[in-house]
Amino acid sequence: MTQAGKKKKRAVNRSIMLAKKIIIKDGGTPQGIGSPSVYHAVIVIFLEFFAWGLLTAPTLVVLHETFPKHTFLMNGLIQGVKGLLSFLSAPLIGALSDVWGRKSFLLLTVFFTCAPIPLMKISPWWYFAVISVSGVFAVTFSVVFAYVADITQEHERSMAYGLVSATFAASLVTSPAIGAYLGRAYGDSLVVVLATAIALLDICFILVAVPESLPEKMRPASWGAPISWEQADPFASLKKVGQDSIVLLICITVFLSYLPEAGQYSSFFLYLRQIMGFSSESVAAFIAVLGILSIIAQTIVLSLLMRSIGNKNTILLGLGFQILQLAWYGFGSEPWMMWAAGAVAAMSSITFPAVSALVSRTADADQQGVVQGMITGIRGLCNGLGPALYGFIFYIFHVELNELPMPESPSGGSVVAQYHLQQNSIIPGPPFLFGACSVLLALLVALFIPEHTNLNVRSSNWKKHCGSHGHPHSPQAPGEAKEPLLQDTNV
């Protein structure tokens, strides 16, 4: 892109932002406290995932009590259905929010995402059924990122997205430990009531305090722009994968490496609790330590590695750490091994930021949204396939418990967990070894990705639907159509 073209684009962006501010001052914004800001989005995200984080320990217990014979299989199916529904619905909800505004869809997504919480104590079967169906609306991050794109200029957006993702991490670092302590001291019923109250507070905050970021006069519907199937098609990004060999290599790498990671997210804390004999407090501490280490790895360590060894080598290093982590999880039979592998897992979190950076540096300025959209689509698909795959592998290898965890033995860990590990001492965690093999294939594919190249992707009409959280008339740079590094899933 020429220098004159870049100046013209910046001028257009400034004009659109100025028009939005004028419309907002003229009364184009519905009720809310103050002008739309990133802090409104941050509070919405924090409250939603803080409520779910409180339920980490109670959810693991209720899951095993409800499905005592096929715990991991049912957990995989529940999370898999939720992930696939989210993948299918995210583009449509993003397109509809372009027409009807962000506030109404923030309210809708938060309400349905948090709707299962009170059902945990009322009816566990309904609780898990509603969790599965809630995947249709469990796309809060998509709407929040669109909200942020509406109210920020191009040079501010990366920092704003980072703030939202960091808030998500902070909520999950603090809330599981608080929930475990309250559950041990006062019982799980109090934790469920507290989580329900926080979810209601989030809904009330959206109703009362959050102003609309997309004024009515600025909405595409008022300009006669209907919603096309291309905008709502969840597979639109995947159809463009084969148009360039470099893009194909990157997408295969992402699929093979993120599929086991998505499955791991859905079942690992249950694995720690039921198979490795971790207490509720230990699981909460594990989440907190892993979250803090991941934040450090994705900021300080990633920056040092990118400067010292380069973009591609950083990706290869991250994949290497992921292979080591998954293999350690698969063969580990002692709690200390899980803690050590968790530290390695924090280092493996540098892979996807490095992939996004590689795309940003090598793609043309007007085609970054195409490639980022492909990566986002593949990761969304993995969020549905990964949990179901892990649950099925656990089921094939008969990694199940027939009883609830018993009191700890003198040597540490639950008696049932230790007995189970004695019966399966060779491979305690088969899905993790499958994941290590998948990431090894991703590493071999990534070796063929050139360090410096120009991605030649035909963008055509992509700009008007480059992401489920962007809209065609917002001043969003194509490269900003990125999914947050932390996924929109509950623990």
Angle at 102 between CA 100 and CA 107, to 5 degrees: 105
Residue 487 in tokens: 């996924």
Specify whether the CB–CB gap between 88 and 173 falls below 8 A.
Answer: no
**pLDDT value of position 150:** 80
**DSSP characters over 45-96:** HHHHHHHHHHTHHHHHHHHHHHSSSSHHHHHHHHHHHHHHHHHHHHHHHHHH
Question: Which helix H or strand E contains 427, and what residues bound it?
Answer: none
Percentage of the chain exceeding pLDDT 90: 13
Specify whether the CB–CB gap between 239 and 45 falls below 8 A.
Answer: no
CB atoms closer than 10 angstroms to residue 404: 12
Residues for the chain: how many in total? Answer: 491
Specify whether the CB–CB gap between 169 and 153 falls below 8 A.
Answer: no
Distance CA 268, CA 339 (A): 13
Q: What domains can you pick out in the chain, each with its CATH number? A: 32-214 (1.20.1250.20), 238-400+429-451 (1.20.1250.20)
Radius of gyration of the chain (CA): 22
Distance CA 141, CA 264 (A): 21
**pLDDT value of position 117:** 92
Specify whether the CB–CB gap between 246 and 455 falls below 8 A.
Answer: yes
Output 487 or 78, whichever has higher pLDDT.
Answer: 78
Using pLDDT thresholds of 50, 70 and 90, give the confidence band for residue 116.
very high
Distance CA 126, CA 128 (A): 6
User: Which among 172, 97, 174 is positioned nearest to 140, based on CA atoms?
Assistant: 97
Question: Which helix H or strand E contains 430, and what residues bound it?
Answer: helix 430-446
Number of Cα atoms under 13 Å in the Cβ half of residue 312? 15
pTM (2 decimals)? 0.69
Q: 430-446 vs 368-396: helix axis angle to the nearest 10?
A: 150
**3 state SS of 402:** coil
User: Which among 118, 390, 424 is positioned nearest to 270, based on CA atoms?
Assistant: 390
**pLDDT value of position 365:** 52
What average pLDDT does the segment 427-452 reach?
A: 87
Output 476 or 99, whichever has higher pLDDT.
Answer: 99
Lowest mean pLDDT among 258-262, 299-303, 477-481, 486-490: 477-481
Spacing of C-alpha 31 from chain mean position: 30
Output the average pLDDT for the chain.
Answer: 75
User: Which among 292, 323, 317 is positioned nearest to 302, based on CA atoms?
Assistant: 317
Specify whether the CB–CB gap between 285 and 223 falls below 8 A.
Answer: no
DSSP state of 113: H
Residue 455's DSSP bridge partners are 363
| Cα dihedral across residues 324, 326, 327, 332: positive or negative | positive
Q: Which residue has the tokens 């194909």?
A: 248
The answer, yes or no, to whether residue 479 has pLDDT greater than 70, is no
Spacing of C-alpha 357 from chain mean position: 18
Using pLDDT thresholds of 50, 70 and 90, give the confidence band for residue 370.
low
Distance CA 484, CA 470 (A): 13
Output 205 or 231, whichever has higher pLDDT.
Answer: 205
Which tens digit of pLDDT belongs to each residue from 378-406?
Answer: 877 888 888 888 888 888 877 665 444 44
Distance CA 473, CA 463 (A): 10
